[in-house]
Each structure stands twice: as C-alpha cells, then as structure tokens.
Amino acid sequence: MQLEQILRQRKEKKDILLMTHIVLGYPSFEANREIVRQMVENGVDCIEMQIPFSEPMADGPVILKANQDSLANGTTVAQCIAFGAEMAATYDIPFLFMTYYNILFKHGEDRFFTEAKEANIKGLIIPDLPPEMGENFFRLAKENEIAPILIFAPTSTQERMATLDSMGQGFIYCVARRGVTGKKSSFGDDFNEYLARCRNATRMPIAVGFGIQDKEDIEALKGRADMAVIGSQTIRLVDEQGPEAVGPFIQGLR
C-alpha cells in the first residue's frame, strides 16, 4: 500500500496523526532502535529518519549538532539504509527517509531508490530539492512507488502551491513558519490563514512541522491538519533524559 492510503486509513481512527523524527546514528543506532520502539509502542503513525549530511542547510542547532555528532561517530549511508530496512520489517507503520540531495546524488539516484524500495521505505523528504531540479528524482520516485514528499512554506504563493501539489505524493509537509527547525512556532491568525491556504491547495493529507513541542501545540492543530510533526523536541529530550523518556513524552501528546 502507498503512503497516502496508509495515512488515510490511520486517520479514520484518530483526530490527528503523529509523525516523529530521528537522526540516524545519533546518539547511536542502539539508541535509535530503542527510541523507535518507544515511539511505535506509544502510537506514532509515521517516522522520518534523517540520514546525516555534513551541510544540513535547513536545520537548526539541535538537528545540526545531531548530524555532526552522528557523522563523527562514523555513520555511513549504507548503515542508514540497513537500519531503515530493519525498522520497516519490524514495525507496521510507514518509515520515510529525510536527507539532503547530495546523499542521493553521490550514492547514485537509481541505486538509492532501488535500495530504499528494497528496504520498504514509503517516502522521501529532500528539503533542498525543488521540483525544477529533480526531473530524474521524480521519475524514479514514480517507478519505485516511493512518495516524493514536498513542502509548502508560508512564503509559497497559490500558484507555487499548485505546482508543488502536482509533483508531490503521500502528503504535503507544511512548514509552520520561516526559519530552520527547532524554534517554537506560534499558531496565531496568520498561521490559521496560511493553513487554510495549504488545505485549499491540495487534496493530499497535510502535515505541519517546525517548532511543534507539546500537547497544546497538537491540540491547536486538530481539525486543521492531518498530521503533526515532532522534530527537534525528541532529540532534545533524549539529550537531556535518555531514550527512556521518549515513550512517556509521546504518550502525553494526545
């Protein structure tokens, strides 16, 4: 089954879905394993696994540091794909890879897609690959039935959203605000207006990410978005309290 359909089915039973984020190899693959287990057991609907890159342009300090530390530990792309395969074989939720374009480009796009498909990865989020630059990428995504997930931003015009909607699959990732990952977002009138614009621009499910940190944030998204994305917050939590803290945190979100 493809990503959009899986998410729609899960959404039938919940008022909002939860997607979480991990940086592979940070603090270690051991810890990643435990974190994913706790996430899935506490009802997370989808997990994006970031393959670390040395130049993570769109990420804020928390995820940036995680990328660097993971690489300093010696994390390789091959290990990341193998870990993805292991998770997808172990748990019955969709797993995505998030990374920057150079990781695919250097690995060989064909080879990356083949390996990701073998690993049963359902979608890819590549924040520095706009549709104009990704002819080959979008062709391979279609051939391999892996959803290319595109991003709406508050600066996207209606026309631009229409273009992105026509190229993307799975769901649309709506970035809550300007800036990089990590800082808290505020959900005022401007935000609601933006989210309404997003909703109108696509028939796919919409996820909202960047700066979502607690139950209150998620409450505010119910009825407006299909999925909430928790990114930097779980990394912060693991840094401060260890992997054991993830389960109770996720539990408390809904």
Partner 1 sequence: MDNKGFFGNWGGAYIPEILHQTFQELHVEYQRAKNDPAFWQEYLHLMRTYSCRPTPLTYAENLSNHFGGARIFIKREDLNHTGAHKANNVMGQGLLVKRMGKKRVIAETGAGQHGMATATMAAKFGFDCTIYMGEVDVRRQRPNVFWMEKMGATVVPVKDGSRTLKDAINEAFRDWVTNIDSTHYVFGTACGPAPFPEMVTWFQSIISEETKEQIKELHGKLPARIYACVGGGSNAMGSFYHYLDTDTELVGVEAGGHGIDSGMHASRLCGTDASPGVAQGYKTMFLQNEDGQMLETHSVAAGLDYVGVSPILSDLWEKKQVRFEAATDKEVMAALDLTMKLEGIIPALESSHAFVQAFKEAPTIAKDEAIIINMSGRGDKDIFTIAHAYDDPSWKEFIISRAAEYSSKS
Name the site residues for partner 1 (rule: CB under 8 A): 53-58, 60, 64-65, 68, 71, 76-77, 100-103, 105-107, 127-130, 132-133, 150-157, 160, 164, 175, 178-180
From the candidates 45, 48, 217, 226, give the one annotated as an active-site residue.
Answer: 48
Longest dimension (CA), the chain: 45
Using alpha carbons only, give the angle 3, 112, 131 rounded to the nearest 5 degrees. Answer: 65
Active site residue 217: no
Q: Give the residue with the Cβ less far from partner 1, 179 or 252.
A: 179
| Of residues 155 and 240, the one with the C-beta less far from partner 1 | 155
Shortest reach from residue 81's CB to partner 1, in Å: 11
Q: Closest Cα partner for 52 from 35, 65, 71?
A: 71
DSSP type of residue 223: T
Q: Least CB distance from residue 98 to partner 1, whole Å?
A: 13
Residue 26 and residue 33 in contact, taking contact as beta carbons nearer than 8 Å: no
CA-only gyration radius of the chain, Å: 17
Look at residues 176, 183, 180 and name the one whose alpha carbon lies nearest to residue 197.
Answer: 176
Cα atoms in the Cβ-side hemisphere of radius 13 Å centred on 188? 4
> Is position 226 annotated as part of the catalytic site?
no
The smaller minimum CB distance to partner 1, of residues 91 and 105, is found at: 105
Secondary structure of residue 18 in the 3-state scheme: strand
C-beta of 71: minimal distance to partner 1 in Å? 6
Residue 27: cis peptide before it, omega within 30 degrees of 0: yes
Which residue out of 59, 115, 217, 226 is catalytically annotated?
Answer: 59
Least Å distance, CB 217 to partner 1, is: 19
Catalytic positions: 48, 59
